[in-house]
Amino acid sequence: MTETPRERYRAQVRTEIKERAWEQIATAGASALSLNAVAKQMGMSGPALYRYFAGRDELISELIRDAYRSLADAFRAAAEPAPDPAALARALRAWALADPQRYFLVYGTPVPGYHAPSDVTGIASEIMTTLLDACATLPPAGPRTPFDAHIEDHRLWAAGHPAPPAVLRRALTCWTRLHGVLSLELAGHFTGMEFDPALLFEAELDALLG
């Protein structure tokens, strides 16, 4: 497992490329990411980057992978010491506000042709698992809904998690509702409307858990 100096150099350059790429994405969006500009910013010329990434798509795929990984880590950290949906939700918002374009790389507009790298599904299910664990700690809410019946027969996505259907449904609604407020806030659809997005987020969280 001892790394040669070459490998260390290579890894270091790769991470610097990704850092510059993140800067560009944060200021101009993922669609404006330019390998040329990244290379020029690093003092080397264009095609040198192709030693490190097969192309623009592979670089973006790598960034998406890292974004998923980062979110999964933030979730895992927020689930300590005890799983708590509210803590998870606030961690999600903090993670999103720290770098909105990173959030959009995960949950934003998909490019019709593009397929995310296959290993992100593993990370996505890791995220879902921590969310399910947290939702399982909540007191069972309300009567059984028709959707619970449907989900009981279609719980393959829960990856064998032993939670009852009501918990699965709760996790799903946590996901969709928090994404709803967050993505609209990050996309700037609340600017100009006077209210405080943080309060709306907390209100939605209250309605979800209270």
Partner DNA sequence: TCGATGAGTTATAGCTTCTAACCAACGCGA
Partner DNA sequence: TCGCGTTGGTTAGAAGCTATAACTCATCGA
Minimal distance, residue 210 CB to a second copy, in Å: 10
- The span from the first CA to the last CA of the chain, in angstroms, equals 50
4 lies in the site for a second copy, by CB under 8 A: no
Binding-site size, a second copy (CB under 8 A): 53
- Phi, psi for 12 (deg, rounded to 5): -65, -45
* x-or-dash string of contact with a second copy, 71-110, rule CB under 8 A: ------------------------------x--x--xxxx
> In terms of CB distance, is 82 or 156 closer to a second copy?
156
Preceding peptide of 81 cis, ω within 30°:
yes
> In terms of CB distance, is 55 or 140 closer to DNA?
55
**CA triplet 50, 54, 55: central angle to 5 degrees?**
85
2 lies in the site for a second copy, by CB under 8 A: no
Count, in order, helices (H) and strands (E) of the chain. Answer: 9, 0
Contacts of 92 (CB under 8 A, 6+ apart): 71, 74, 75, 178, 182
118 lies in the site for a second copy, by CB under 8 A: no
188 lies in the site for a second copy, by CB under 8 A: yes
Identify the three-state secondary structure at position 120. helix
User: Interface residues with DNA (CB under 7 A)?
Assistant: 4-6, 9-10, 13, 33-37, 39, 43-48, 50-52, 54-57
> In terms of CB distance, is 113 or 162 closer to DNA?
113
Single-letter residue type at 207: A
Judged by beta carbon distances under 5 to 8 A according to partner kind, the member of a second copy, DNA, none in contact with residue 36 is DNA
* x-or-dash string of contact with a second copy, 161-180, rule CB under 8 A: --------x--xx-xxxxxx
Contacts of 132 (CB under 8 A, 6+ apart): 158, 161, 163, 167, 168, 171
